[in-house]
Amino acid sequence: MLTLYYSPHSCSLAPYIALEEAGATFTPYRMNFAAGEQNGDAFKKLNPKGRVPTLATDHGVLSENVAILTYIAQIFPAANLAPTDLFQLAQMQAFNAYLSSTVHPNHSHRGRGYRWSDDPAVQEALKIKVPQNMRDCFTIIENEYLKGPWVFGNQFTVADAYLFTITNWMEADGVDINTFPKILAHRIAMNARPAVARAVSAHDS
């Protein structure tokens, strides 16, 4: 039994896509961020960090996209959502860790500056660097990582779900996707996948 705690327009879209791609049976639980449900006692018992995605499993609760995505790939091996070769798997982890530890925090400086400073002037200053920082990250992804059509060439992996999720924030972060032809082609290819369409529609509606 799997329950995915998610919030629309958030990074929980990545595991939502992975579960849909795997053909998994799961219960989606939509969090009410506006009401602060992520900081309530009930949710914090599940995930003391107060964040989505959070995946409740028969073995316990998982947080962090990097772990959740790999777990989904490994419990549904028939879906082939991660490389079986150990070095290639480590490369996928490196890519997902880059999204999680660098790209996502750079994005969060736009709307969540209060995590880094209580000073409203500093929070405003943090926003100014967001387009440049995100452009720098997407330049590395475009030039160094994204093989095409999928991140790792012909094998669709959970890294594609994660990349698509974060590239969906480009416009709001002040980055023109048209200046990144491979990332644009990746978004178009992702949008054509029925499992992605199902996840986007259920996750963001």
Ligand X SMILES: N[C@@H](CCC(=O)N[C@@H](CS)C(=O)NCC(=O)O)C(=O)O
- Could you say whether residue 159 binds ligand X (CB under 6 A)? no
Among 20, 64, 160, 173, binds ligand X (CB under 6 A): 64
The CA distances from residue 28 to 1, 89, 122, 199, in Å, are 11, 27, 37, 10
- Could you say whether residue 20 binds ligand X (CB under 6 A)? no
Provide the minimum distance between the beta carbon of 50 and ligand X in the complex, in angstroms, as a whole number: 6
Q: Whose Cβ is closer to ligand X: residue 9's or residue 153's?
A: 9
- Could you say whether residue 65 binds ligand X (CB under 6 A)? yes
The CA distances from residue 32 to 51, 118, 119, 120, in Å, are 12, 24, 27, 26
Among 4, 16, 19, 53, binds ligand X (CB under 6 A): 53
- Could you say whether residue 100 binds ligand X (CB under 6 A)? yes
Q: For residues 57 and 45, what is the distance between their CA atoms, to the nearest angstrom?
A: 14
Q: Whose Cβ is closer to ligand X: residue 22's or residue 68's?
A: 68
* The residue to which tokens 């959070």 are assigned: 54
Q: For residues 33 and 28, what is the distance between their CA atoms, to the nearest angstrom?
A: 15
- Could you say whether residue 10 binds ligand X (CB under 6 A)? yes
- Judged by CB under 6 A, the chain residues 172 through 191 that form the site for ligand X are none
Q: For residues 110 and 157, what is the distance between their CA atoms, to the nearest angstrom?
A: 29
Q: Which residues bind ligand X (CB under 6 A)?
A: 10-11, 38, 50-53, 64-65, 100, 104, 112
